[in-house]
Chains A and B, each alone.
Chain A
Amino acid sequence: MNQYIPVLLMFAAGAGVAVAMLGLSELLGPKLRFREKMEPFECGENQVVSPKRRFSVRFYLIAMMFIIFDIEAVFLFPWAVVFQSLGLFGFVEMMIFILVLAVGLVYVWKKGALEWE
């Protein structure tokens, strides 16, 4: 059980910093609330369009690609841990896995899916 204490401390520290930043700025910062201030900021101009409108589908695409390559990366963790005892077999195996997804990467790259235009 003791081995988890550093992890817990990390979590506590992370959460603490986040809470502290929000809490302190709430406590110490000057608070002047009026209607205009609560609106989205548009360079001092009055709000022209509602921020509530449909966004480009590209956001989803980027998020999708992130998940897919994230999952790919996740498989590397256990592989790295047992890499030496798997030998060449494990190396070839992972290279095939990466090659398949590398084809995907080349495809999205050349297709221009990574560009924003």
Chain B
Amino acid sequence: MEMIPLPQISVGAIAPELTLVAAAMIILMLEVFTISKGRDNLAYVALAAVGVAGYLVIESLGSPMTTFSKMYVVDDFSGFIKLVCLLGAGMTILMSVKYTRDEGIDGGEYYSLLLFATTGMFFMVSGADLITIFLGLETMSISLYALAGYARGRLASNEASIKYFILGALSSAFMLYGMSMIYGAAGVTNLHEIARIIGQNKENIHLVMLGGGLVLIGFAFKISAVPFHMWTPDVYQGAPTPITAFMSAGPKAAAFAAFIRVFSDALISLQYQWWIIVWILAVLTMTVGNLIALSQENIKRMFAYSSIAHAGYILVGFTAGGKLGESAMLFYLLIYTFMNIGAFAIVAIVGQQGEERTSVSDFAGLGYRHPLLGLAMVALLFSLAGIPPTAGFWGKYYLFTAALDQGYVWLAILAALNSVIAVFYYLRVIVVMYMREEKGESLPQNAFPASIVVVILVAIYGSVLLGITPGGYLALAASSSLAH
């Protein structure tokens, strides 16, 4: 029998993914084979895996390669986003240690699902082929559906899981249908090859446009762009707070990365068709997100709408495109991870057991009862609002100047107006924290374990100090963009 020629594969390229999957499986085995006392330490197994994966990703920076029959690509772009995802995962794991204990959540599956979700993101951002991207997306999404419903005692968490699952499955169907049309028109699934074939041959352009449109809807859902954002408030509000923090950072960054790769590589010849759609999406997403956030009483829901608005800002950078736009997006995704997860960590502390205290009014007097915590929240909210000299300000500044640079003056103006609206609802929390008369009692001493303090310190570093000296990270973001 003749032998089939074997493909050239380089296992070293997927070492970070292998680390994460192996750790997830080890955690599962530890979960079922060890006595319950040892399970508290599973978080640190997961954290170690995140650290090792981070080391491996950093090692791979600067040496791009394509392997696995051109289905998997290692480049600085994927490396940067992977580091953002790992940062999000690491901070989430740290803030989950106390949360899972308080809520009586079994650790094992929780942490392994977090690692599976991160693995999915890795394959999404490194996917140079529609199939790899889709499988990564599904691995990430399925893990997130389960994680959203993990607080089994709370009805809101069950609701979040079901809503996320049904709408997420629908959006995956849209994306898969779109991909199948692109495949039907081009005959290949490799992103470069698609670009080459549809660039040469305009015959099947209608089918590619329809397919591209459906894929766009799929991505718009994952990054919760208006009008595909309906799931976001309910899911963010109902999911366990650390999972909400996780969902708002890594998965969004990964979806943006795959979005960029598909549209600025495979569908680059349709650029003039899709940029106008992305322009409209950006404006709608910013405006609707910010306006609805103004009237929210639940703080998790408010952050859900605020995260929609932030996706809109990032879409501004996407519309601008080019090296400037892309590096601004990458930089923003990084600092957004810091500040948003930090803010959610504080929400988790204040929320206490059962997430009973998640309305904005529960923050009343917090600034006096816990001055340091209040100060941290102020810093993070300033950064989210984009007030100088925080990192949030620089992030927005680079996004909007990228738009101006490409001549999208109106888009930049609308984005700037939107950031002014956003200041209102972020300031409202600060006003409640300091101006409203004190009513609640102090948080118990054990509300501040070292793990969550580390998360907040890292977040402060990323959203304040990084704003004062953004140079190094900005240079890294610039060198990581796909465009040249």
Contacts and interface: CB of A to CB of B under 8 A. Distances in A.
Interface of A: 82, 84-87, 89, 100, 103-104, 106-107, 110-111
12 contacts: A82-B4, A85-B4, A86-B3, A86-B4, A100-B21, A104-B28, A106-B29, A107-B29, A107-B31, A107-B32, A110-B33, A111-B32
A86 B6 CA distance: 8
Contacts of A84: 1
Interface of A is mostly: helix
Nearest to B33: A110
A87 B21 CA distance: 26
Given A100-B21, A100-B25, A103-B25, A85 B2 contact: yes
Contacts of B21: 100
Interface in B2-60: 2-4, 6, 21, 25, 28-29, 31-33
A87 B31 CA distance: 36
Contacts of B32: 106-107, 110-111
A89 B25 contact: no
Nearest to B4: A85
B258 to A, nearest CB: 23
Contact of B1 (A85, A100, A106): A85
Contacts of A103: 25, 28-29
A97 to B, nearest CB: 12
Nearest to A111: B32
A82 B28 CA distance: 33
A32 B231 CA distance: 54
Contacts of A89: 6
A85 B29 contact: no
Most chain B CB atoms below 10 A, which of A82, A84, A103, A104? A103
B473 to A, nearest CB: 36
Given A84-B1, A85-B1, A100-B21, A107 B28 contact: yes
Contacts of B33: 110
A100 B112 CA distance: 13
Contacts of B31: 107
A77 B146 CA distance: 30
Contacts of A104: 28
Nearest to A110: B32
A109 B438 CA distance: 52
Nearest to B21: A100
Contacts of B3: 85-87
A80 B451 CA distance: 50
B36 to A, nearest CB: 13
Nearest to B31: A107
Q: Which 9 A-B pairs have the closest CB atoms?
A: A110-B32, A103-B25, A84-B1, A107-B28, A85-B4, A85-B1, A89-B6, A85-B3, A111-B32
A111 B6 CA distance: 39
A18 to B, nearest CB: 33
Nearest to A87: B3
Contacts of B28: 103-104, 107
Contacts of A111: 32
A98 to B, nearest CB: 13
A15 B129 CA distance: 42
Nearest to A88: B6
Contacts of A100: 21, 25
Contacts of B25: 100, 103
B116 to A, nearest CB: 11
A87 B1 CA distance: 10
B301 to A, nearest CB: 28
Contacts of B29: 103, 106-107
A53 B71 CA distance: 49
A5 B21 CA distance: 46
A77 B32 CA distance: 32
B143 to A, nearest CB: 14
A105 to B, nearest CB: 11
Contacts of B4: 82, 85-86
Contacts of A82: 4
B52 to A, nearest CB: 19
A103 B3 CA distance: 31
A111 B33 CA distance: 9
B120 to A, nearest CB: 14
B159 to A, nearest CB: 16
A41 to B, nearest CB: 35
A89 B32 CA distance: 32
Contacts of A85: 1-4
A87 B4 CA distance: 9
A79 to B, nearest CB: 12
A111 B112 CA distance: 15
Interface in B270-314: none
A82 to B, nearest CB: 7
Contacts of B6: 89
Given A86-B4, A89-B6, A107-B32, 20 more contacts: A82-B4, A84-B1, A85-B1, A85-B3, A85-B4, A86-B3, A87-B3, A100-B21, A100-B25, A103-B25, A103-B28, A103-B29, A104-B28, A106-B29, A106-B32, A107-B28, A107-B29, A107-B31, A110-B32, A111-B32
A81 to B, nearest CB: 11
